[in-house]
Chains A and B, each alone.
Chain A
Amino acid sequence: MAVLREPGSRYAAPRAHTLGLRAIVLGLVAIGLMVVDHREQHLRVLREGLAAAAYPFQVLVHSPVAGWEWLTSNFATRDALLEQNARLKAEQQRSDLRLLRLEAIEQENLRLRRMLNAVPPAADRVMLARVLRVDLDPFRQRVIVDQGTRAGVSKAQPVIDATGVFGQVTNVGPYSAEVILLSDTAHAIPVQVSRNGLRTIAVGTGDPLRLSLPYLPRNADVKPGDELLSSGLGGIFPAGYPVARVTKVERDPSRPLAIVDAAPAAALDRANEVLLVWYSPPAALGAPKAAAAPSGTTPAQATAAIPPGASP
């Protein structure tokens, strides 16, 4: 192969004598960045700037997919639209009926709360955000959404979709935010079995269709089909949203804990639109002090406050 030379260089390996030194300096800078960044918060400004710089590229990557979706939705056949319309109308009627019932229950609930002298739950505010089609890392369950600090999004904010809890915001830029899904191995959410109020923690497995409940004792009252709601402990997620449905309960006599799996209620692997939720955690209500972790703590810290396998 021909000897390669670059303009201005006298020999093929310029500045070779300082190569090792430069490598060590840059390596140390990288390690310093990692240490500072891993301790959270210190690099918020830099992270926000980087997220802002990355956003146009992410939109660029997303645009072919968005274009294709636009095309297919524009050229949907009349039959398909009619069929969809009919289905949505039926769904709306069902929802209306349910809503009527719910309103009555809400009124009753409010009255009871007032009788108990309890603080009424703060009204939730939600905002729609689109999920950008950007692959981050096949082994991490994270997505980018197209709303950021400009829209008031903040770190550790809960994210839901139409069917259940989706995840929480881990990083925010001005126009975009990174959301960690329930199924990420680094994520855990305090949940409650709706049937009997049993409290535990659902941990991500890396598989978008499976959560694991590793802290339930073998004799815990849980069975396949049980619905898991967010318990509101930990102070990050609002209480009462569907999280998952138990799919498998295995009680191995040789183990102190049951092996329990659950399927997430939200469409973690195929949601196009999600809702960012604002709510004020009802700190004055029943939640024990130890469990009401301040916002901004990582899920691991938040869950550490609750004893594993806590039962009512």
Chain B
Amino acid sequence: MNAERTAPRPLLYASSLVALLLSVLPLPQWLAWIRPDFLLLVVVWFALMAPRAGGLLFAFLAGLALDAFRGVVLGQHALAFVVVAYLVHRFHLRMRMFTLFQQSLFVLALLWLYQFLLFWIDGVTGHPVTDWMRWLPVLTGAMLWPVLAGFMGRFLSRA
């Protein structure tokens, strides 16, 4: 009887807080370049596994928090987060049927879309970053996905 499992709400708060702190943790330069978008991965995970608790509003607020932390134009990450969370919601039943590898590929596409939105907004607001290295977190994020999904899955409680 493991048909029904729930994602506890404390997990939502704890994991998003840790992800937010990780996203501004001082790292050596080369690590900072490949730093995955931890907070977005957490948002994707909740949109996938607990679409009600980690809804679009959660994605929006998480994005806004990241905007405030990074000091960029307010709403930039919020918009990108909402778009990604919407896609995950839309396909969450299908995504759950994927193998971890397929999920990672899907996450790769989502992260790419996310970076593209940020890239585009950066350009519109007059701070274009054309460095190719800004796309590195897409790869590392997708590689991190199986680890994160496996780790967070352990906290799903049985109902």
User: With A4-B50, A30-B79 given, is the CB distance from A138 to B68 under 8 Å?
Assistant: no
**In the assembly, what is the distance between CA of A57 and CA of B68, in Å?**
11
Interface range on chain B: under 10, 10 to 19, 20 to 34, or 35 or more? 35 or more
**B134 with A135: CB separation less than 8 A:** no
**B89 with A19: CB separation less than 8 A:** yes
New A-B pairs, 20, CB < 8 Å, besides A23-B86, A50-B67, A51-B68: A2-B5, A4-B5, A26-B57, A27-B83, A29-B75, A33-B78, A34-B73, A37-B74, A43-B74, A50-B74, A62-B26, A138-B29, A138-B32, A138-B35, A139-B134, A178-B71, A185-B127, A185-B128, A186-B127, A300-B126
Q: For the complex, is B60 an interface residue (Cβ under 8 Å from A)?
A: yes
Binding site for A on B (CB under 8 A): 2-7, 20-21, 24-27, 29, 32-33, 35, 49-53, 55-57, 59-60, 63-65, 67-76, 78-79, 82-83, 85-86, 89-90, 92-93, 96-97, 121, 125-129, 131, 133-134, 156, 159
Q: For the complex, is A38 an interface residue (Cβ under 8 Å from B)?
A: yes
Chain A, 25-83, CB within 8 A of any chain B CB:
26-27, 29-34, 37-38, 43, 46-47, 50-51, 53-54, 57-58, 60-62, 65
A7-15, A97-105, A146-154 - interface stretch: A7-15
- List residues of chain A with CB within 8 A of the CB of B50: 4, 6
**In the assembly, what is the distance between CA of A19 and CA of B5, in Å?**
23
Complex partner residue of A142 from B55, B71, B90, B125, CB under 8 angstroms: B71
- List residues of chain A with CB within 8 A of the CB of B76: 30, 34
Complex partner residue of B73 from A7, A16, A38, A206, CB under 8 angstroms: A38
- List residues of chain B with CB within 8 A of the CB of A61: 21, 24-26
**In the assembly, what is the distance between CA of A71 and CA of B128, in Å?**
40
Flag A86-103 by CB within 8 Å of B: 1 or 0 each: 000000000000000000
Give the A interface residue count (CB, 8 A): 58
**A135 with B5: CB separation less than 8 A:** no
- List residues of chain A with CB within 8 A of the CB of B7: 4, 6
**A135 with B63: CB separation less than 8 A:** no
CB distance from A11 to the nearest CB of B (A): 10
User: With A54-B68, A135-B32, A137-B70 given, is the CB distance from A1 to B96 under 8 Å?
Assistant: yes
Complex partner residue of A135 from B24, B79, B96, CB under 8 angstroms: B24
**Which 6 residue pairs spanning A and B have beta carbons closest together?**
A33-B75, A30-B79, A50-B68, A23-B86, A34-B75, A30-B75
- List residues of chain A with CB within 8 A of the CB of B134: 139
**A136 with B96: CB separation less than 8 A:** no
Residue of B nearest to A3 (CB): B3
Residue of B nearest to A14 (CB): B52
- List residues of chain B with CB within 8 A of the CB of A178: 71
CB distance from B68 to the nearest CB of A (A): 4
**B125 with A7: CB separation less than 8 A:** no
**A6 with B6: CB separation less than 8 A:** yes
CB distance from A188 to the nearest CB of B (A): 13
